[in-house]
Structure formats: structure tokens, C-alpha cells
Amino acid sequence: MPKISVKEIRNISETALVQHGALDWISQQVAAAVAASESVGNRICGLYYLESYCEQLLSGRVNGKASPVVQLVRSGSVYVDADDGFAQPAFAKGLPEALKLAKKNGIASLSVGRAHTCTSLGYFTKKIAEAGFLGLGLTNASPIVAPPGGKSRIIGTNPIAFSVPDENGGVAMQFDQSTTTVALGKITMAKAAGNSIPEGWALDKDGKATTDPEEALKGTLVSAGGYKGWGFGLMAEILVAGMTGGRISKNVAPLKAKDGEPHNLGQFYIIIDPASGAAFYNRLEELTTIISSEEGTRMPGQFTVPQTEVDVPDDLWNLAIGLSKAKHFE
């Protein structure tokens, strides 16, 4: 398994996207997200998705020449029409205006609509925190989760991410998690590797617990904590679809399917200026100190250090190289 620099991962990903029809500036935004995911070991949202991006650029399921449009909806709300393109460039277009509003009002929302799946939601909330604001992000996905006690797929894994700034341009805390016990990618990767999955991750099509990833993919994933995770998943569904105008999960085709209609998903962010709080950084420091005082405990994301080189499986890296050399567009 070769050790590849994150910079090289970014360069190869960018070239692959351009070769499959994406504009340079769009490819740069998406490749940066791929590389960032790889740097923290999040392969599901990194190189694992590159082939799908390229295939969907060719099929037209994602618009590689999109021109995102930023709209000021109200004094504290920004909406970005992603033009059926990638989420990353649309977010990049809308974030500066949303940050201005959050600074002015203390709080603002940023809605991204008509977008491709954003993969790692924490990538976006981290950018909000690095700008000095609290970022809460939500999105939905293709249906794979049934209500507790049911068997019909209703909502997606519907991730929620939350990033907290420190006072030095960094991130004091971050979590990025699906509202299911595990992300769907964990199941698909287990199937590809020929591995079983732990009991409690998924149910088969008859609503029975299964350790077979293939049966899980025919059935449903389990909400984290049962009704509790189901409630958070519904919260994400309502806020995202309702505030961005994106499709509800039930109407979204499998995200990695090569052909079909654009995803038309949304991402919804709440941005808060910590200066609006009475003693934000004092309380954050107090809480961090208390949690860190016990050996083996930490704030989520507290000691995460992005790597400059990562191990990449040979077949995956060879695939990425091949995608970067394929000349589908002049």
C-alpha cells in the first residue's frame, strides 16, 4: 500500500475532474474536499467518491460547468442555487455573504439548494469555525432508514456536523456524524472487502438484524439510539428539504448511481457569532479543561491533526491515476 502525499491526492483528483468535464475552479474546490477527507482518514468521503464524481460528470448527473447564484433572502438568510453542480463551489460562493450577515446580526443561515451530495459535511462547518463562527450543518441523502418498528426506507443517513472555533483561527471541537449507527459507506466498503458487519448496524428487507452487508444494502440502516437518532434524522430532513427546496430523501436516487436525474439535494447551515454570547470562550475553556482532565477523554476532534501523507490501497490509487489520464473532454 503506497504512502501518497495529500498534495498529490489533491492534484490527481483535480486533474481527473477536469478531464471529465468540470471547470478548473470547480475541480479545485471539489479536489480540496477530497484531499481534506483523506488527510483525516475519511476515505468514504475522499478518493472512494472520485470515480462516481467522474462518471456523473460524463452522464450529466452533476453539472461540471455550473454557475452558482447567491441570493439574499432576508436580512439573515443567504440562499445559493448550485445549478445542479457540486456542493463545494456553491458553498464557497455563498459563505462570505453569510459570514457578513452573522457578524452583523449575531446569527445567519446559509441554504444551498439544487446541489450534488456534499459527502463530508464537517468539511464545510470546519470552514465556518476557522472563520471564527460556530457552524451547524445538516443534509439529507437517498433513503436507507426506516422508522423504528418499520421496514420501508423513508429518510437517508442524514448527517449533522457541528464545529466550534477557538480564538486562534482553529477548531476547538468538531463532530460530523450520520444519524444512523454508521454511515452507508461503511456498509458498502464492508461488502467490497468481503467482510461481515457488526450486529446492530442494519436490518435485512424483512426487518431482521443482519451481519451480511449485502442483505443490509437490500434492507435498511438502524438509527443511532433508536427513536433518538430517528428524531435527529427527521430534524435534518425537515430543515434541509424545507429550507433549501431540495428533494426529500424518499425521492432521491442512489447517490453513486452513474445515470439519472441530478441529486437536487440541499445543505443547511446555521452560523453563529460567538461574540454574541455573554462569556463564550470562557465557558468553552472551562468545559474543555474539565473534559481533558480525565485521562483518555477529549473534546470531539480536539486532537485531530491532518496528515500530509496517507496510505492509499494500490487499486484505489491506480484507479485515481487512471481517471486523471482519461481524456473524455478536450
Q: Which of 17, 274, 250 is nearest to 141 (CA)?
A: 250
What sign does the dihedral 9-12-15-20 (CA atoms) show?
negative
| CATH code for the domain defined by 67-180+223-304 | 3.30.1370.60
Q: Where are the domains of the chain?
A: 67-180+223-304
Round to whole Å and give the CA distance between 162 and 134.
8
Q: Which of 102, 170, 169, 113 is nearest to 136 (CA)?
A: 102
- Per-residue pLDDT at 183: 87
Residues contacting residue 152 through CB under 8 Å, at least 6 positions apart: 146
The Cβ of residue 232 has, within 10 Å, a number of other Cβ atoms equal to 21
Spell out the per-residue pLDDT of the chain, length 330, in tens: 789 999 999 999 999 999 999 999 999 999 999 999 999 999 999 999 999 999 999 999 999 999 999 999 999 999 999 999 999 999 999 999 999 999 999 999 999 999 999 999 999 999 999 999 999 999 999 999 999 999 999 999 999 999 999 999 999 999 999 999 998 888 988 998 899 999 999 999 999 999 999 999 999 999 999 999 999 999 999 999 999 999 999 999 999 999 999 999 999 999 999 999 999 999 999 999 999 899 999 999 988 999 999 999 999 999 999 999 987 654
- 50 in Cβ contact with 320 (< 8 Å): yes
pLDDT mean across residues, the chain: 95
Helix (H) or strand (E) holding 186: helix 184-193
DSSP 82-101: EEEE-HHHHHHHHHHHHHHH
Burial environment of residue 297 by CB neighbours within 10 A (0 to 12, 13 to 18, 19 or more): exposed
